[in-house]
Amino acid sequence: MKIVCKKNDILESINISLRAIPAKTTMPILGCIVIRANSNNIKFITNDMEMAIETIVKGRVIEDGSIAIDAKKFSDIVRKITDEEITIETNEYYMATIRYGNNEASFNCLSDEEFPDLPTVEKQNAIRISQFSLKEIILQTVFSISDNESQKIMTGELFEIEGDKLTVVALDGHRIAIRKITLNDEYKLTKVIIPGKTLLEITKILSGEVKDEINIYFTKNHVLFELENTIILSRLIDGEYYKINQMLSGDYDTKLKVNRRSFAESIDRSTLFIKETDKKPIILDIRDFTMNIKVNSQQGAINENLSVNKEGNDIMIGFNPKFLLDVIRVIDDEEITIYMTNAKAPCFIKNEDESYIYLILPINFNAAR
């Protein structure tokens, strides 16, 4: 194999490929980027056995071939090269020589024959969505998945498509995040659970531009995300997702409007007195025009007051501040609306048209004090 590429093109493709390099692995081949060059098409391929990425690299193919090169080493040397053009050439001993200016670096590599094959996905019935929207709905929900691998389904997100509606749901047993958007076309009913890790990696590859689109294909066990020069293929999580509709009641006794940014800043300060481990709640004491925010700890206390617009009953309620902050930070609206019933019932943060709905369970603050 012999290819000639611009340094920046290689680097861009490496950055995409690295998203499917496992942090740790006992199989050296999975720590590699496979470079495959044939008929004027150069591809980088990576696979962490949950997710695979194939990306096309701009460049010239002088001789066909392939090699599996250690991703970290490859990435490190390319980053440190200051020349514009890079030549990569392999020999029959699986050595790859990278040439730049008058210099060269050689790497002992592996054959790509050991590299796990990617399953073939039939590209039928693409769901088209802008990269901006996909990135947004993932980032506005994915923090609510669980990282507990023993409850596999909670580590993924439900993607449900019905007609022209896409609903994304994440939950971890203490909270639920729901985002709904309208697609440009109608599709047949589809319900899949996509691993949260895959979705997080994808947000790092997506351009975030409204004008850039992405095609999504589903098969029984896989999902394929197709960008302009890159495809990302991931396993789906097997199983039936939780029925969430019955958890979403429309009733409430207190409706509260508060400035999002001030609320976020207050909660953020209050977390200084709460260690992740000791599960102390922040206590919101909500009256007609004021929300009083309180935390008491051995080290000290915080006591803040925010102007609010309240309808319905006064209420005193305790929360894990992190759960509130996670939600408040991803909402774009200047003002947020919170619906509550009592100190033990779920609280909802949602907008008028319910394009986002967040459910958070309160913490019993009498017991916690």
What is the total count of residues that contact a copy of itself (CB under 8 A)? 29
Among 48, 54, 70, 112, binds a copy of itself (CB under 8 A): 70
Position 322 contacts a copy of itself (CB under 8 A): no
- Tell the burial category of 154 from Cβ atoms under 10 Å away from its Cβ (0-12, 13-18, 19+): buried
Kindly list the distances between the CA atom of residue 95 and the CA atoms of 39, 88, 368, in Å, as whole numbers in the listed order. 22, 10, 62
Which CB sits closer to a copy of itself, 56 or 77? 77
Position 366 contacts a copy of itself (CB under 8 A): no
Among 4, 56, 62, 77, binds a copy of itself (CB under 8 A): 77
Among 81, 199, 315, 338, binds a copy of itself (CB under 8 A): 81
Position 269 contacts a copy of itself (CB under 8 A): yes
Which CB sits closer to a copy of itself, 126 or 306? 306
Closest CA to 141 of 128, 160, 156, 152: 156
3-state secondary structure at position 165: strand
Position 300 contacts a copy of itself (CB under 8 A): yes
Structure tokens at 333: 């609206």
CA atoms within 13 A on the CB side of 129: 25
Position 24 contacts a copy of itself (CB under 8 A): no
Which CB sits closer to a copy of itself, 41 or 290? 290
The kind and range of the H/E element at 178 are strand 175-195
Position 114 contacts a copy of itself (CB under 8 A): no
Closest CA to 100 of 117, 88, 115, 114: 88
3-state secondary structure at position 107: strand
Question: How far from chain centre, in Å, is Cα 20?
Answer: 14
Position 272 contacts a copy of itself (CB under 8 A): yes
Position 91 contacts a copy of itself (CB under 8 A): no
Contact between 227 and 80 (Cβ < 8 Å): no
- Binding segment for a copy of itself (CB under 8 A), chosen from 1-9, 142-150, 244-252, 303-311, is 303-311
Question: Sign (positive/negative) of CA torsion 275, 276, 279, 284?
Answer: positive
Taking the CB of residue 20, how many other CB atoms lie within 10 A of it? 26
Closest CA to 164 of 133, 135, 208, 138: 133
Which CB sits closer to a copy of itself, 228 or 278? 278
Among 94, 107, 132, 242, binds a copy of itself (CB under 8 A): 107
Position 245 contacts a copy of itself (CB under 8 A): no
Position 82 contacts a copy of itself (CB under 8 A): yes
Position 41 contacts a copy of itself (CB under 8 A): no
The residues of the shown chain that bind a copy of itself, judged by CB under 8 A, are 70, 73, 76-77, 80-82, 95, 102-108, 265-266, 268-269, 272-273, 298-305
